[in-house]
């Protein structure tokens, strides 16, 4: 079937998740960079979101679905454990991050800096100040979650960790996010440890703000 083709942008946290999954499993893949809302995305995804997967004549969208397909289709380390309890914990964290934390940390806090809805183009301070308490709360929750093992699910690196790390990459670069990290030593150590992984380094996005792609 040839190499999987990932269509999206490394500035998109969810495209990076899929690319990291490929890197972790040793899958040779092709990344085709595109813009949010491009005709190529709309040709497959009804809302033009990224990333997309093409593998032979098979097409798939939504990052969790793509990562699951790759994990089941290729050899290499299991990203979703076969143990049903651990698999359930992975699913739990992927769902929580995608449906709650990404909305706070990326779609509200980060975009108030990267794509502010202000007339002068400056960071939206009102939106930032309003969301900071939730940012601190969620960073605190993550800090406790990784305190015991340094992972979100059991004591192994899984899709749950892959799904979170690209979000943390951006959040910790901003002042309020950096302050929240400083008060979360377990999460800070977790990030520093896993940021050394080859899969994380190989998928570092180019400079510039993250894609405005919606979570997928």
Percent of the chain's residues with pLDDT above 70: 96
Provide the domain limits for residue 134.
84-202
Residue finishing a domain among 73, 104, 128: 73
Which two three-digit tokens encode residue 126?
């009102």
Read off the pTM: 0.94
In angstroms and rounded to an integer, the radius of gyration of the C-alpha atoms of the chain is 17
10 Å Cβ neighbour count for 161?
23
Question: Would residue 178 count as lying in a domain?
Answer: yes
Q: How far apart are CA 18 and CA 143, in angstroms?
A: 24
Q: How confident is the model at residue 208 (pLDDT cuts 50, 70, 90)?
A: low
Residue 214 has a pLDDT of 46
Residue 27 has pLDDT above 50, yes or no: yes
The CATH number covering residue 148 comes to 1.20.1050.10
* pLDDT value at residue 111: 94
Both 100 and 156 in one domain: the answer is yes
Q: 88 and 181 share a domain?
A: yes
SS3 of 28-83: the string is: CCEEEECCCCCHHHHCCCCCCCCCEEEECCEEEECHHHHHHHHHHHCCCCCCCCCC
pLDDT-derived band at 213, boundaries 50, 70, 90: very low
Are 4 and 30 spatial neighbours (Cβ–Cβ below 8 Å)?
A: yes
pLDDT exceeds cutoff 50 at 215: no
Report d(CA 191, CA 170) in Å as an integer. Answer: 12
Domain boundary among 73, 108, 126: 73
Same domain, 124 and 170: yes
Mean pLDDT of 179-206: 97
- What would the two tokens of residue 12 be? 């998109």
Tokens of 171: 């959040």
pLDDT bucket at 209, cuts 50 / 70 / 90? low
Does the pLDDT at position 211 exceed 80?
A: no
C-beta of residue 116 within 8 angstroms of C-beta of residue 123:
yes
pLDDT attached to residue 207: 74
């Amino acid at each position: 079937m040839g190499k999987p083709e990932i269509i999206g942008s490394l500035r998109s946290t969810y495209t990076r998740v899929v690319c990291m999954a490929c890197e972790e499993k040793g899958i040779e893949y092709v990344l085709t960079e595109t813009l949010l809302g491009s005709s190529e995305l709309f040709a497959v995804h009804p809302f033009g979101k990224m990333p997309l997967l093409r593998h032979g004549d098979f097409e798939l969208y939504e990052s969790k679905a793509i990562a699951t397909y790759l994990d089941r289709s290729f050899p290499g380390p299991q990203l979703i454990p076969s143990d049903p309890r651990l698999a359930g914990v992975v699913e739990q964290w992927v769902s929580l991050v995608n449906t709650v934390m990404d909305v706070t940390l990326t779609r509200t806090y980060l975009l108030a800096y990267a794509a502010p809805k202000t007339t002068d183009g400056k960071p939206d301070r009102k939106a930032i100040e309003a969301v900071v308490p939730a940012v601190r709360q969620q960073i605190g929750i993550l800090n406790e979650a990784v305190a015991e093992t340094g992972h979100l699910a059991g004591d192994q690196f899984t899709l749950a960790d892959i799904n979170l790390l690209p979000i943390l990459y951006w959040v910790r670069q901003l002042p309020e996010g950096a302050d929240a990290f400083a008060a979360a030593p377990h999460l800070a150590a977790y990030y520093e440890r896993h940021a050394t992984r080859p899969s994380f380094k190989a998928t570092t996005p180019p400079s510039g703000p993250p894609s405005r792609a919606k979570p997928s």
